[in-house]
Amino acid sequence: MIATLLALVIAAPAHADTLVDNVNGITLDQQGKVVRFTGLVIDEDGKVKQLLDRKDKRPERPDFKEDGKGRTLIPGLIDAHGHVMGLGLSLMTLDLSETRSLDEALAAIRKYAADNPDMPWIIGRGWNQEKWGLGRFPTAADIDAVEAARPVWLERVDGHAGWANSAAMAAAKITAATKAPEGGRIETAGGKPSGVFVDAAAALIDAARPKPLARDLDRAFLLAQAKLIEQGITAIADMGTTIEDWQAYRRAGDRRQLTVRILSYGHDVGDMALIAGPEPTPWLYDDRLRMVGVKLYLDGALGSRGAWLKAPYADAPGQKGLPLLTPAQLRNKMVRASMDRFQVAIHAIGDAANAEALDAIADLNADLPGERRWRIEHAQIVDPADIPRFKQLGVIASMQPIHQPSDRLMAEARLGPERLKGAYAWRSLENAGVRLAFGSDVPVESANPFPGIAAAISRTDAAGQPFGGWHPEEAVSRESALDGFTRTAAYAAFAEDRLGTLMPGMRADFLIVDSDPLLASPDEIRRMTPLETWIGGSRYYRKKGG
């Protein structure tokens, strides 16, 4: 593992002039028009110097020449909404999703514990007793047989239950007298907690978990970075950076290990101000890191009925979800950030949350200085009447196309048929003139952007379902999908002067891929993988055998 990490940070050296030739090159220009080219000249600062057409003369003596062998070259993809450290920490946990029996799971726990002797807690995910044919929930005693000394805490595949060993229950001071909180259930055996904690009860164990140490965060970051680059993500908006996260990014930068570009939004105004101070940071480490704004949470998620809706949930008639901020709190935070020129990104999933975010922006827009580029993150369920307001108020819709196939059945249940008209309504927003930035919400979803692009243009899932697409009128063009993951994702973070396209003067961040995303079928796009990932004119990833 360590060897892999080290290998990843050894880049091809930057040369005075690099020529990448013989490629099927695609980029958008600053206006969003597709530009095709066959050669790319990169200067010594790692910026695009020139795009070459087939007939253009090549530089006579480039210091480094790379033959693209006719393969497709596209701009590095930008994830407009992810959680870098969340990805890294999830990559450090034990993955039980491939286990086919309780015995296999226990063997995996034993091996992981032995491989990680310094970890104070063993954390994992992905178990499914149905798949194991177990006929019951697993128990603490099951784990105790392979790891009794250290707490073990394993999330079920659906995220709706956790499985603890006795040490974890002891650390959380769980006894037979412990009551499950509202919305939760503690499984019991013989009148005592058996080890499985359902829904809200999982928080009882979570509260006892130690915070990761700086060295864990450093390792998590390098794992996340390697995963992102392997998946073709050359820049990512980190939505909710804490001071601990930021310090890990800086350590990587200070040690010349920061490769992926991080466009950081502070975790509420407290971390924002502690990290960046009185204004957004400068671009750091050759445009690898910048804190540009703040992330505010206005509501929760649809699956757990935390999204704040105008009318009750179709499958829970008494419930509408709840705002997480009062109108005054939301506006105060927005003003505090904006007065110091931080960009504001508001998490809003339900239609009521989206309407309130728009109301707040309308209240403040006139009185705040500078160009604000308000962002609404997710904009998942929007009242069709509110769609034109995004454009009127200059709001960027930061959306995650992959959520649509992932959420489809759940969204139908939660919302009923009528409200689906404004659900994941990419094309309606685009038609209203709204800028769409696309991302993944990693680690809620995989960071792999290609299934997202496929969903954006087809409204189908990995199996191509439903045939013809779910509300296919909301699909966008291939060009718009590429734009959302490149040019507009950069614009959405005030980075369009350096990232997002391959026009001259921009950072030479690009991918060599195995098919042309403007020509391939949705299914081909979904299975596309980067063969190479270049950032700032240096190659940081090459697929084995690619």
Distance of closest approach, residue 254 Cβ to its own copies, in angstroms: 5
What residue has token string 């915070």? 211
Spatial distance between the Cα atoms of 296 and 361, rounded to a whole number of angstroms: 13
Q: Whose Cβ is closer to its own copies: residue 273's or residue 322's?
A: 273
Sheet of 161-164, strands arranged across: 94-95, 122-127, 152-156, 161-164, 192-199, 184-189
Distance of closest approach, residue 214 Cβ to its own copies, in angstroms: 3
Residues whose CB falls within 8 Å of the CB of residue 434, separated by 6 or more in sequence, listed in order: 387, 390, 391, 395, 396, 397
Residues whose CB falls within 8 Å of the CB of residue 350, separated by 6 or more in sequence, listed in order: 299, 302, 307, 308, 309, 310, 320, 321, 380, 381
Q: Whose Cβ is closer to its own copies: residue 189's or residue 243's?
A: 243
Distance of closest approach, residue 374 Cβ to its own copies, in angstroms: 23
Burial class (CB in 10 A: 0-12, 13-18, 19+), 507: buried
Q: Which residues of 240-271 are buried (b: 16+ CB within 10 A; e: fewer)?
A: bbbeebbebbebbbeeebbbbbbbbbbbbbeb
Distance of closest approach, residue 218 Cβ to its own copies, in angstroms: 6
Spatial distance between the Cα atoms of 50 and 325, rounded to a whole number of angstroms: 49
Pick from 384, 385, 346: which is nearest to 364 by CA? 346
Burial class (CB in 10 A: 0-12, 13-18, 19+), 114: exposed
- Residue ranges binding its own copies (CB under 8 A): 213-215, 217-218, 243-244, 247-248, 250-251, 254-255, 273-278, 281-282, 284
DSSP letter (8 states) at residue 342: -
Spatial distance between the Cα atoms of 44 and 62, rounded to a whole number of angstroms: 11
Distance of closest approach, residue 285 Cβ to its own copies, in angstroms: 10
Q: Whose Cβ is closer to its own copies: residue 209's or residue 336's?
A: 336
Q: Whose Cβ is closer to its own copies: residue 212's or residue 522's?
A: 212
Q: Whose Cβ is closer to its own copies: residue 55's or residue 211's?
A: 211
3-state secondary structure at position 111: helix
Distance of closest approach, residue 215 Cβ to its own copies, in angstroms: 4
Q: Whose Cβ is closer to its own copies: residue 248's or residue 434's?
A: 248
DSSP letter (8 states) at residue 518: T
Cβ(78)–Cβ(30) under 8 Å? Answer: no
Determine the straight-line distance between the first and last CA of the chain, rounded to whole angstroms. 21
3-state secondary structure at position 198: strand
Q: Whose Cβ is closer to its own copies: residue 249's or residue 426's?
A: 249
Q: Whose Cβ is closer to its own copies: residue 274's or residue 410's?
A: 274
Pick from 131, 132, 141: which is nearest to 101 by CA? 132
Distance of closest approach, residue 255 Cβ to its own copies, in angstroms: 6
Distance of closest approach, residue 259 Cβ to its own copies, in angstroms: 17
Q: Whose Cβ is closer to its own copies: residue 2's or residue 177's?
A: 2
Both tokens of 447, joined, read 């960071």
3-state secondary structure at position 352: helix
Distance of closest approach, residue 239 Cβ to its own copies, in angstroms: 21
Q: Whose Cβ is closer to its own copies: residue 207's or residue 213's?
A: 213
Distance of closest approach, residue 546 Cβ to its own copies, in angstroms: 34
Distance of closest approach, residue 11 Cβ to its own copies, in angstroms: 19
Q: Whose Cβ is closer to its own copies: residue 181's or residue 253's?
A: 253
